Amino acid sequence: GAGVSQSPRYKVTKRGQDVALRCDPISGHVSLYWYRQALGQGPEFLTYFNYEAQQDKSGLPNDRFSAERPEGSISTLTIQRTEQRDSAMYRCASSPETGTGVFQYQETQYFGPGTRLLVL
Amino acid sequence: GQQVMQIPQYQHVQEGEDFTTYCNSSTTLSNIQWYKQRPGGHPVFLIQLVKSGEVKKQKRLTFQFGEAKKNSSLHITATQTTDVGTYFCAGRDTGNQFYFGTGTSLTVIP
C-alpha cells in the first residue's frame, strides 16, 4: 500500500479483556516499530522487529504486552487483561533500514495513523 | 536511564518571527532525527543527522547536531501558520536504543 496502515483505528474495551492491534507496514520495509503515545507527549518506544525477528522488547511495560511479526510483514501487538492505564494511542512505524546501528543509512520511520485504545 | 529532553515545551510566536527548539540527551547519540506532528496527526520524518557538528538546511528550517553528539537544535526562520505542530527529536544511543524527545509544541499566531 501507499503507507503504513493500522487497524482498528479506535478500540473501546472493558477492563480485563484482551485486545489485538494490527500494523500493516509499507511493502518491503525491513523494520517495524511499535510505540505508545500519551496525549501531549512523545512516542514511547515499545518494541521493534527486523524482518520477523524481535530485536528489542525492552520498552514493553510488562508481560501483558506482546508483539509478533511472524512473516516479516504484518505485525500484531497484543495486550492481555487490559487495564485502564493501557489507554493511549498506539503507533506503528516501518523503516526500509534495519536499525541495527549502521548509521550512515537513512533510518526514516514512516508512521501509521495509530490505534486509539480506550479501556473502560 | 536515558532521557531526551526538549525545551521549550511550548512556544507561541507571531507569524514571521523565528523559532528554535533544543534537544538534549543525557548520553551520546549515534544519530538524531527530527519529526513534525501536526495536531491530530502522526509524526512525519523531517531529517536525520549523523556527524558531529553537522548542519543541514531545508528551506526555512536549519538543523544542527552538537559537537559532542548529545544535543541538537531546530531553527525555523520567519515562521508561517503551516509550521504549527509539535516537533520531536529522536535519537539512537550507542547501545542501539531509540528514544523520542519530549517535544516542543509550536503555535503560530497570524
Which pLDDT belongs to residue A104? 45
A15 to chain B nearest CA, in Å?
26
Please, which residues bridge with residue B7 across strands?
A: B22
Question: What's the pLDDT band for B96 if we cut at 50, 70, 90?
Answer: confident
pLDDT band for position A63 (cuts 50, 70, 90): very high
A35–B42 C-beta distance less than 8 A: no
DSSP code for A21? E
Report the DSSP pairing between strands A110-111 and A88-95.
antiparallel
The mean pLDDT value for A81-101 works out to: 87
* B65-92 core/surface letters (b: 16 or more CB in 10 A; e: else): bbeebbbbbbbbeebeeebebbbbbbbb
Q: Which residue has the cell 487490559?
A: A82
> How far is the alpha carbon of B15 from chain A, nearest alpha carbon, in Å?
23
What per-residue confidence (pLDDT) applies to A1? 52
- Cβ distance B33 to A107 less than 8 Å, yes or no, reads yes
A104/B48 CB distance under 8 A: no
pLDDT of residue A103: 44
Predicted local distance difference test score (pLDDT) of residue B2: 59
Higher pLDDT, B82 or A58: B82
- Predicted pLDDT at A56: 87
Mean pLDDT (chain A, rounded)? 90
Q: What is the pLDDT of residue A102?
A: 44
Which pLDDT belongs to residue A99? 57
3-class DSSP state for residue A100?
coil
pLDDT for B47-83, tens place per residue? Answer: 999 999 999 999 999 999 999 999 999 999 999 999 9
- A45 in B contact zone (CB under 8 Å): yes
Name the residue facing B100 among A43, A104, A112 (closest C-beta). Answer: A43
d(CA A73, CA A5): 12
Given a cut of 50, whether residue A45 has pLDDT beyond it is: yes
Within 8 A of A58 by CB-CB distance, chain B residues are: 97
Interchain contact, B30 vs A42, CB within 8 Å: no
Cβ distance of B97 and A58 shorter than 8 Å: yes
Residue A94, burial from CB neighbour count under 10 angstroms (0-12, 13-18, 19+): buried
Q: What is the helix (H) or strand (E) element at residue B31, kind and residue range?
A: strand B29-37
* Smallest CA–CA distance from A4 into chain B, residue: B42
Q: Which of A95, A84, A96, A93 is nearest to A120 (CA)?
A: A84
Residue A70 is predicted with a pLDDT of 95
Q: Which of B51, B46, B34, B54 is nearest to B100 (CA)?
A: B34
Chain segment B13-60, per-residue pLDDT in tens: 999 999 999 999 999 998 899 999 999 899 999 999 999 999 999 999
